[in-house]
């Protein structure tokens, strides 16, 4: 194993002399898997690591000392200049359908899995450096990440976590002191990403495409043990695994739809087996409600448009089911049986997605019970929002005021180009609320717990990224991060974070930034 080199100053830093030592307590189950699963290699050191941010709360959850991470040794580890004790860095291999085309070999082209740690919740987490240098899977890429996309992933993944959406998280960001060449030269950075695991649909596809059923089985057993232990000891664990992934994805995509989140690049290599949101590239949040909205500059056909996300997810899950057919056949003892099981499992996506989305919409409207007509009530509101270009997030948030004791409709109705469209809809909504009864203040409070006031609005994300990349000014990043980390609270002084972009501030296109 190549060890990075250190200058004497590094080795004799006061932190080292005072005995400070970053302790990760790594335990690396992935590195115990067969060698076909990865290539072992260390991150490539960078010129001048500098800390941007350590996620104190997440560090504590991972039983890490945030001060240690901020030390010289800590920053060297976060930049890939030093390999932490117990880490076994590796690049994972996988395949994937990218915009519908199968690529039989992808893999970590710019990331290194350092290892796994067990958090205070007893769960095992991957700790991965993103932007950590070239690997055998880099293809034409430089293995690096630019500061802008690193901060975007930091902000948006942390916002999603605060919104209660399963997601990978950001433990830290550092700048490298090096430039990365994209359209122009940009400051480089490394993100430390934490995930329940980095198993993807594409990992299954990799072994399936090679007809390597032995390793496919190893992979499925590993996924069961790590994420679906309740399925591990059922009669048909592989069937249960497939059902489990489908169930988690159905719930996940429903959560995205309830928040106006557009992932932007739902390729099978970006579809997590654990059910987390992964790979924040050209992602964005809806402003004015437009179900057909596409932000990503490379998604020309609208494959991953907002309202196409459930379909894209089913398509990806069908690729997983396909890859798992040899395993399902072991359980059903026939190919036909395997196909029947796969189809039946996939058919469960839609009802599960719809149930989750409908329940979520009822919650957003302040309805605790389920009654006939609720679906139509919610769809009518969305139609009205679309016709009147009403801001997605604020409409639901201001409905909370309209549901409260003093029934204040002024805020929500002004979001509609034609406020009378809201008035017409609100008649039916009020009737439905009356029928349900209950305490108005309690209802408004419950609604405020599911309808965020602050999301990482695209123009504010852009502003924070520009300040950091162009002026080394990290204050807008810090401020936005702080604002999105408590998304359900209305806090004095943070009003601008709740406001939609002005027309001239609107972000129309986002970029992968890779
Ligand atoms: P993504 O679009 O980030 O999901 O990446 C798709 C594939 O391209 C993955 O295999 C990445 O590892 C690889 N990739 C993305 N950016 C780079 C880069 N700058 N250098 C090398 N590989 C990259
Ligand atoms: Mg990816």
Tens of pLDDT, residues 204-219: 999 999 999 999 999 9
Rounded to 10 degrees, what is the CA torsion of 156, 160, 161, 163?
A: 140
Is residue 264, in this structure, part of any structural domain at all?
yes
**Same structural domain, 482 and 503:** yes
Rounded Cα gap, residues 428 and 425, in angstroms: 6
Rounded Cα gap, residues 486 and 173, in angstroms: 20
Which atom of ligand 1 lies nearest, measured to the CA of 135? Answer: 21
Distance 145 CA to ligand 1 centre (A): 9
Q: What is the structure's pLDDT at 17?
A: 39
Rounded Cα gap, residues 95 and 501, in angstroms: 38
**Same structural domain, 332 and 461:** no
**Same structural domain, 27 and 145:** yes
Judged by phi (left if over 0) then psi (alpha if -120 to 50, else beta), residue 513 lies in: left
Q: What is the structure's pLDDT at 512?
A: 74
Mean pLDDT of 32-59: 98
pTM, to two decimals: 0.95
**Same structural domain, 351 and 475:** no
Which residue has a Cα nearest atom 15 of ligand 1? Answer: 514
How sure is the predictor about 98, in pLDDT bands with cuts at 50, 70 and 90? very high
Candidate from 44, 101, 110, 183 with most ligand 1 atoms within 8 A of CB, to mutate = 110
Q: What is the structure's pLDDT at 6?
A: 37
Angle, alpha carbons 257-261-266 (nearest 5°) = 90
Q: What is the structure's pLDDT at 2?
A: 41
Q: What is the structure's pLDDT at 12?
A: 39
**Same structural domain, 411 and 474:** yes
**Same structural domain, 435 and 455:** yes
Distance 362 CA to ligand 2 centre (A): 33
**150, 130 Cβ separation under 8 angstroms:** yes
Is residue 361, in this structure, part of any structural domain at all?
no
Answer with the residue of higher pLDDT: 434 or 4.
Answer: 434
Closest CA to 393 of 484, 312, 475: 484
**Is the pLDDT confidence value at 5 over 70?**
no
Burial label, 406 (beta-carbon count in 10 A; 0-12, 13-18, 19+): exposed
3-state secondary structure of 151: helix
Ligand nearest to the CA of 106: 1
CB burial string 489-508: b at 16+ within 10 A, e below: eeeeebeebbebbeeeeebe
Domain that holds residue 252: 212-288+300-356
Instruction: Look up tokens 């490539």; give the residue.
Output: 44
Q: Which helix (H) or strand (E) holds 169?
A: strand 169-181
**Is the pLDDT confidence value at 1 over 50?**
no
Is residue 362, in this structure, part of any structural domain at all?
no
Protein residues with CB under 6 Å of any ligand 1 atom:
106-110, 137-138, 141-144, 265, 269-270, 279, 281, 512, 514
**Is the pLDDT confidence value at 358 over 90?**
yes
How sure is the predictor about 510, in pLDDT bands with cuts at 50, 70 and 90? confident
Ligand nearest to the CA of 271: 2
Q: What is the structure's pLDDT at 10?
A: 41
| Ion ligand 2 nearby residues (CB, 5 A) | 270, 279
Is residue 340, in this structure, part of any structural domain at all?
yes
Q: What is the structure's pLDDT at 193?
A: 98
Q: How many independent structural domains does the chain possess?
A: 3
**Same structural domain, 110 and 220:** no
**Is the pLDDT confidence value at 18 over 70?**
no
Catalytic residues: 269
Q: What percent of the chain has pLDDT over 70?
A: 96
Which atom of ligand 1 lies nearest, measured to the CA of 106? Answer: 10
Phi (first) and psi of residue 27, to 5 degrees: -140, 115
Q: Which helix (H) or strand (E) holds 185?
A: strand 185-195
**Same structural domain, 396 and 488:** yes
Is residue 207, in this structure, part of any structural domain at all?
no
Show which of 198, 223, 241 is a domain's final residue: 198
Which atom of ligand 1 lies nearest, measured to the CA of 145? Answer: 19
Is residue 205, in this structure, part of any structural domain at all?
no
Angle, alpha carbons 214-215-219 (nearest 5°) = 125
**Same structural domain, 243 and 185:** no
**Is the pLDDT confidence value at 514 over 70?**
no
């Amino acid at each position: 194993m190549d060890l990075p080199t250190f200058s004497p100053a590094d080795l004799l830093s006061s932190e080292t002399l005072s005995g400070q030592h970053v302790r990760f307590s790594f335990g690396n189950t992935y590195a115990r898997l067969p060698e076909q699963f990865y290539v072992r290699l260390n991150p490539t050191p960078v010129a001048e690591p500098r800390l941007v941010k350590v996620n104190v709360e997440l560090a504590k959850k991972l039983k890490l000392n945030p001060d240690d991470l901020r030390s010289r040794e800590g920053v060297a580890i976060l930049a890939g200049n030093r390999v932490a004790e117990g880490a076994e860095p590796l690049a994972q291999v996988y395949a994937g359908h990218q915009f519908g085309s199968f690529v039989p070999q992808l893999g970590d082209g710019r990331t290194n899995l350092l290892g796994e740690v067990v958090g205070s919740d007893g769960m095992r987490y991957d700790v991965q450096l993103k932007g950590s240098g070239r690997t055998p899977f880099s293809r034409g890429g430089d293995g690096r990440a630019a500061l802008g996309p690193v901060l975007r992933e930091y902000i948006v993944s942390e916002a999603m976590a605060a919104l209660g959406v399963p997601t990978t998280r950001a433990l830290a960001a550092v700048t490298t002191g090096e430039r990365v060449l994209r359209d122009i030269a940009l400051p480089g950075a490394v993100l430390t990403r934490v995930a329940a695991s980095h198993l993807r649909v594409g990992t299954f596809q990799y072994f399936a495409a090679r007809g390597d059923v032995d390793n496919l089985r190893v992979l499925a057993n590993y996924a069961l043990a790590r994420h679906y232990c309740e399925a591990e000891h059922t009669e048909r664990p592989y069937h249960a695994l497939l059902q489990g992934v489908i169930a988690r994805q159905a719930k996940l995509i429903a959560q995205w739809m309830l928040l106006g989140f557009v992932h932007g690049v739902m390729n099978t290599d970006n579809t997590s087996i654990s059910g987390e949101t992964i790979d924040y590239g050209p992602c964005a949040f809806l402003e004015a409600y437009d179900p057909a909205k596409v932000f990503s500059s490379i998604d020309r056909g609208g494959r991953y448009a907002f309202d196409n996300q459930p379909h894209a997810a089913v398509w990806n899950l069908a690729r997983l089911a396909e890859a798992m057919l040899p395993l399902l056949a072991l359980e059903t003892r026939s190919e036909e049986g395997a196909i029947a099981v796969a189809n039946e499992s996939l058919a469960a996506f839609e009802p599960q997605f719809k149930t989750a989305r409908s329940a979520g919409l009822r919650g957003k409207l302040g309805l605790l019970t389920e009654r006939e007509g609720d679906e139509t009530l919610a769809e009518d509101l969305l139609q009205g929002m679309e016709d009147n270009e009403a801001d997605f997030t604020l409409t639901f948030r201001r409905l909370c005021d309209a549901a409260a004791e003093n029934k204040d409709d002024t805020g929500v109705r002004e979001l509609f180009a034609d406020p009378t469209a809201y008035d017409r809809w609100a008649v039916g909504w009020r009737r439905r609320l009356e029928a349900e009864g209950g305490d108005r203040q309690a209802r408004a409070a419950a609604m405020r717990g599911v309808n965020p006031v602050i999301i990482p609005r695209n123009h504010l994300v852009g502003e924070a990224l520009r300040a950091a990349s162009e002026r080394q000014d990290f204050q807008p990043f810090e401020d936005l991060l702080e604002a999105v980390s408590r998304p359900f609270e209305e806090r004095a002084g943070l009003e601008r974070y709740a406001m939609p972009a002005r027309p001239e501030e609107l972000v129309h296109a986002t970029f992968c930034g890779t």
